[in-house]
Chains A and B, each alone.
Chain A
Amino acid sequence: KAGVTQTPRYLIKTRGQQVTLSCSPISGHRSVSWYQQTPGQGLQFLFEYFSETQRNKGNFPGRFSGRQFSNSRSEMNVSTLELGDSALYLCATKRENGETQYFGPGTRLLVL
């Protein structure tokens, strides 16, 4: 069974630009969550999508948004990038009634 895939793996952007990250879940997993990991703040929850609906949202500004498609693939978008958005962005997926979230390899974003 293929694992969670995230694209791109690495990204370099400049301040003010926007970026879109993609996450393809494990087959059969309909819940997709996004997390941001930085050295200073650690791992922080961004949002969760299930059946194309945002089910929960973390404490991030409106510049961070996401969506989920009918095939459960999810994208997150960050607009007007700031230096502080440099981070590892991880997505995690799980079955509807499952407990465990399985993570992808992450996208490393560097904002210059």
Chain B
Amino acid sequence: AQKITQTQPGMFVQEKEAVTLDCTYDTSDPSYGLFWYKQPSSGEMIFLIYQGSYDQQNATEGRYSLNFQKARKSANLVISASQLGDSAMYFCAMREGGYSTLTFGKGTMLLVSP
């Protein structure tokens, strides 16, 4: 079974609009971490936001917020006020237990138009 599922291969949004990128995960470990990374065409993976499994509140980092619904095992990324520079591939990833290893989803390509 897929540990990280990103069901949206591509998303299209207009500048200044908000967009939600979906991510569901599968783990039986009570301790885990969820991450979102952005990968522009240059290839570098840029860290956006982190949510720990024991965190009570949803994580926020500037225009990024993570909508963490533990019972549903979902960790959706919300980008408010999209900018042209947000056009990139977005990956959801998970760390389980005491390991640092990240398991990635297949990614969502986000295109922001003027």
Contacts and interface: CB of A to CB of B under 8 A. Distances in A.
Majority SS of interface residues in chain A? strand
A97 B107 CA distance: 27
Interface in A7-49: 31, 33, 35, 42-43, 45, 48
Nearest to A55: B100
Interface stretch (B21-29, B39-47, B67-75, B76-84): B39-47
Interface in B83-108: 91, 93, 95, 99-107
B28 to A, nearest CB: 19
A106 B44 contact: yes
A81 interface: no
A100 B43 contact: no
A55 B97 CA distance: 14
A77 interface: no
A45 B101 contact: yes
B8 to A, nearest CB: 15
Nearest to B46: A103
A43 B91 contact: yes
Contact of A90 (B45, B52, B100, B105): B45
10 closest pairs, A vs B, by CB? A103-B45, A43-B104, A105-B44, A106-B43, A45-B101, A42-B106, A100-B47, A88-B43, A56-B101, A99-B33
Interface of B: 33, 35, 37, 42-47, 50, 52, 91, 93, 95, 99-107
18 contacts: A33-B100, A33-B101, A33-B102, A42-B105, A42-B106, A42-B107, A43-B93, A45-B102, A99-B33, A99-B50, A100-B35, A100-B50, A101-B102, A102-B47, A103-B46, A104-B44, A105-B43, A106-B45
